Structure 1
Amino acid sequence: MTEYRENVVKILPHLHRNRGLENFLRKVAPDFDLHELEISPQEIPLLGAVAAGKPIEAIEERDSLAVPADMVVGRYKAYALQVKGDSMMDEGIRDGDYIIIQERNEAKNGETVVALINDHEVTLKKLYIERDQIRLQPANSQVEPIIIRNSDVKILGVVCGLIRKFR
């Protein structure tokens, strides 16, 4: 039953509004308590915008954003930023999206990060640590990577989720 329960926990939040699914689960697992699986939204800080393109000045704005609780599970603090620009579009990150960030000061090669450049500009890029420099790689062939000394870059966090509002 544990494996079944784990699978239900994974899919139910995404299909919560589908009452047919809930009815089906009640038939196949009548002892299963669906209310136990309710996932309430969690408020996280919305700290402003991040450039997906040319870096922009780091200006913190304070607001909040409700996100599914399972997007912020883990040992790291989380916050959200709104994406400005299209340099990450090949990764599915578009202008106007909200990204969920795990607040971390280290990242692995290839992770999508929010980076602070020269202590005042922020950008959203894929991180590549090279011999004596860092390459902040966009996910858009029309945008050039940023090549910079290791000492001029600070990792502020790693992308762990995305929320898109349909217009």
Structure 2
Amino acid sequence: SEVVTGALFKILVGELQPDAGKVDWGITTSRAYLPNDNSSFFQDASLDLINWLRQYSKDQTETFLRGFLGRMLFSGEEALKKCNVLSGGEKVRCMLSKMMLSGANVLVMENPTNHLDLETITAVNEGLIDFKGTLLFTSHDHEFVQTIADRVISIEDRGTKDEECTYDQFLGLD
């Protein structure tokens, strides 16, 4: 269930407290989170994309921010678009930019390909394949999971399965 995985991920990143126990991360870990519902990040109608991204960037120069937005397929005047009128896919691309700027070595992502077009999904796939850190994610996109996952953790009624394999191997298709 998306509600359950959303709650689990919120506990893992410290946005919710667990009912029992605690989450301990290593001292060298830093986390970035892409929630299913990212609307709270885009409430300020006065912010254009450059100034929205500036909130999360050490480098405050417009040239750097425009370059970064350009890599996420926001070019020219699109960088001046107000953040409260973005489509779902544009919001996800902005959140991915925010995550990249964080320099986190653990990415926690709920359905990262939702709302994205094929060109963006391909770019996200390529970026995550090259990512050297840890990636925890949920997705309904079979091809994305097959391409990215090299370990599958399945939480089921009967317990937890943790297997180092591709998604197709996990499903018995390989």
Same fold (TM over 0.5): no
Please tell me the TM-score bracket, short chain as reference. under 0.3
TM-score, normalisation: structure 1 = 0.25
Which is richer in strand?
1
TM-score by length of 2: 0.24
Which is helix-richer, 1 or 2?
A: 2
